[in-house]
Structure 1
Amino acid sequence: MTASNIKQFDEITGQVLGALYERFPVPYFLSLENFVADGYSYDEAMGGDAPNEQGTFFFSCVDWLAASGYLNFKDKNHHYGYHDAFLTEKGLEALKATPDSLKTGPSFGEQLVSASKSGTKSLVASIAGQVLSVGTRIVTNHLGLPG
């Protein structure tokens, strides 16, 4: 793998959250093939394609986002993706935030949608990192902990 796990995680996170934000509140099928170009390899034992290391990484990223409260889904198909995925309140609140450096302007969600469409993976990853930081601050504020 050429990119670090954190960089890859941020890229996938940005793409996934951007896709869900763009379609909110309508549930969406998070398909492995829509987010990872080379997510499948031929598996002789199965007699067909199966998620490879990159595909498994995608599933791990989405599982973490769900366990951390950014998104939810109705059902997981371990071979293809997540049925009826949607943003949670925490995910939506983090994506609706505006960067501190900009008092007005596009929200993180709007920036993710735009960056995803332009194919700028480094920008998607950067914005995703900021969204996760906002999500952490949201949780600590709700719990009354110092942020």
Structure 2
Amino acid sequence: MTASNIKKFDELTGQILGVLYEGFPVPRPLLLGDLMPGGISFDERIGFDVPNKHGEFLFASIEWLAESGYLRYKQKIHATGYTDCVLTAKGLEVLKATPDSLSTESSLGEQLVDASKIGAKSLVGDLAGQVLSIGVKFATNHFGLPG
């Protein structure tokens, strides 16, 4: 994975978690057309739209977040997205955290929502990186691993 993939993953993660945080606890769909409008291409061989490499990257990101315990979903709809997505307890706890290094009282989730609304992709990616780092610390402390 290249540094640009990590940056892209962080930006998508921030966008995904921000959407779910804003609507919590109500499950909502995570749709390719909403999160990455250019993520679908027409496949002439089979005669309909399918996720392209950008769409597949989004889907892989959502799958990773689910497998890592940040969110859950009911089902994947092949070329469309995921149904009934919601933050898990871990995802909510991490997003409610307020980093000590910040002089703000806003949680990471609130900051993600605000940054997403103004389209600050770089900030969304930076915040998502902080969320994932806190999630790792929570996991290692929970399992008694050095962290």
- Normalising by the smaller structure, the TM-score range is over 0.9
Q: Deviations over 1:35-94 (max 9, x none)?
A: 112101110122122110000000000000001110000111121001000101110111
> Which amino acid counterpart does residue 62 of structure 2 have in structure 1?
V
Distance 1:104 1:60 in 2: 32
Map 1:50-65; keep pairs closer than 5 Å.
Answer: 50-65=50-65
Distance 1:122 1:37 in 2: 19
> Which amino acid counterpart does residue 97 of structure 1 have in structure 2?
A
Structure 1 position 45 matched with structure 2 position 22: no
> Which amino acid counterpart does residue 81 of structure 2 have in structure 1?
G
> Which amino acid counterpart does residue 66 of structure 2 have in structure 1?
A
| Secondary structure, counterpart of 2:19 in structure 1 | helix
Matched with 1:75 is: 75
TM-score by length of structure 2 reads 0.95
Matched with 1:146 is: 146
Q: CA RMSD in A?
A: 1.2
> CA contact under 8 A between 2:49 and 2:79: conserved in structure 1?
no
> Which amino acid counterpart does residue 125 of structure 1 have in structure 2?
G
Identity %, equivalent residues: 61
Question: Shift of the alpha carbon at 1:114?
Answer: 0.3
Structure 1, gaps ≥5 residues long: none
Map 1:4-43; keep pairs closer than 5 Å.
Answer: 4-43=4-43
> Which amino acid counterpart does residue 59 of structure 1 have in structure 2?
F
| Secondary structure, counterpart of 2:98 in structure 1 | coil
Q: Deviations over 1:1-32 (max 9, x none)?
A: xx811011001100000000000000010001
| Secondary structure, counterpart of 1:45 in structure 2 | coil
Choose 41-50 or 55-64, whichever is displaced more: 41-50
Runs of 4+ in 1 over 6 A off after TM superposition: none
Distance 1:130 1:27 in 2: 24
Matched with 2:106 is: 106
Structure 2, gaps ≥5 residues long: none
Question: Shift of the alpha carbon at 1:145?
Answer: 1.6
Structure 1 position 124 matched with structure 2 position 124: yes
